[in-house]
Amino acid sequence: MKTRKLGLTGLEVSALGFGCMGLSSGYGPPTAKSQAIAVIRAAVAGGVTFFDTAEIYGPWKNEDVVGEALAPFRAQVKIATKFGFRIGPNGERLDGLDSRPAHIKEVAEASLKRLKTDVIDLFYQHRVDPDVPIEDVAGAVKELIQAGKVKHFGLSEAGAKTIRRAHAVQPVTALQSEYSLFWREPESEIIPLLEELGIGFVPFSPLAKGFLTGKIDENTKFDATDFRNVVPRFTPEARKANQAVVDLLNAIATRLKATPAQVALAWILAQKPWIVPIPGTTKLPRLAENLGGATLELSAADLREINAASDKITLHGARYPEHLQKLIGR
């Protein structure tokens, strides 16, 4: 697999990363540990060198699995994890955020142990904490970098002003936010800013939480623990209304002898050379399909056709329920 550089600080990773969250949380019951390890190691075999996790996934369980799965390959992979949510002593999720510098350093130490490593390649603030100046957050990560415990600083779902302020204290290597043909909002302000500052972009949900695979329709039933049950964009009515974007991908995919997911990933990769999407999956066949998206070449005519058709589609349903929407873009 080809590689790409995130930011100007020397972080080189595979063009397609692997988002590990779904192995432990978000999309139904956790995957069996043996299966999760098998999928992660199959990704390594397929050329993936960039793996994304976070302490809140589980909580903690995802980092444990990622650490065990990648231990034999640690020298050849890059691991990103995140801090910033409140978690109780027994791994229970608590309300609110916590990016106090002392807490950031505590999280780093705990994550290093769970990941079975002596350094975190990319350490993201998971969500911007309005109670802690971003300069203090950047300063804390800077100290971790100086101590050799972290290599690169990242932000997730941060707004433009926050990104600028953080970058002035400690260069930001990458921003992680949602981006896909289903959510193109970053194109208006965030992507131009990242280009200006030399910051890489790591889109999560590049397949729109599975919708762009073409395997979800208005009749699909999700597990009771699946996060999509509370996402307005995934109500049956919204799924039916939003089918137009899947139809667009199907048409292009049929012509190119590819799948809708592969076209969706190839489209993202064609936007900028410093964008590295991180699709996740629990299934080996889906992993193989996603990896195929990294080698699919879309022509300039293909891209014009996709963009022109996408521009005419009005998507229905909010991206997040209101309580989560408040945590993004700050």
Q: How many Cβ atoms from other residues are within 10 Å of residue 311's Cβ?
A: 8
How far is residue 124's CA from residue 108's CA, in Å, rounded to a whole number? Answer: 11
How far is residue 214's CA from residue 234's CA, in Å, rounded to a whole number? Answer: 14
Catalytic residue among 57, 124, 179, 320: 57
DSSP string spanning 60-102? THHHHHHHHHHGGGGGG-EEEEEE-EEE-TTS-EEEEE---HH
Q: How many Cβ atoms from other residues are within 10 Å of residue 157's Cβ?
A: 22
Q: Give me the residues paired with residue 81 across strands.
A: 123
Q: How many residues are listed for the chain in this entry? A: 330
Q: How many CA atoms lie within 13 A of 260 on its CB side?
A: 21
Q: Give me the residues paired with residue 189 across strands.
A: none
Let me know if 45 is exposed, middle or buried by CB neighbors in 10 A (0-12, 13-18, 19+). exposed
How far is residue 39's CA from residue 48's CA, in Å, rounded to a whole number? Answer: 11
Six token digits for residue 319:
């991206």
DSSP string spanning 172-228? EEEEEEE-BTTB-GGGTTHHHHHHHHT-EEEEE-TTTTTGGGT---TT----TTBGG
H helices of 47-203, in order, are 61-70, 101-114, 134-146, 160-169, 190-197
124 a catalytic residue:
no
The Cα angle at residue 260 between residues 255 and 265, in degrees rounded to 5: 110
- Tell me if 247 sits within 8 A of 163, measured CB to CB: no
Q: Residues with catalytic annotation? A: 57
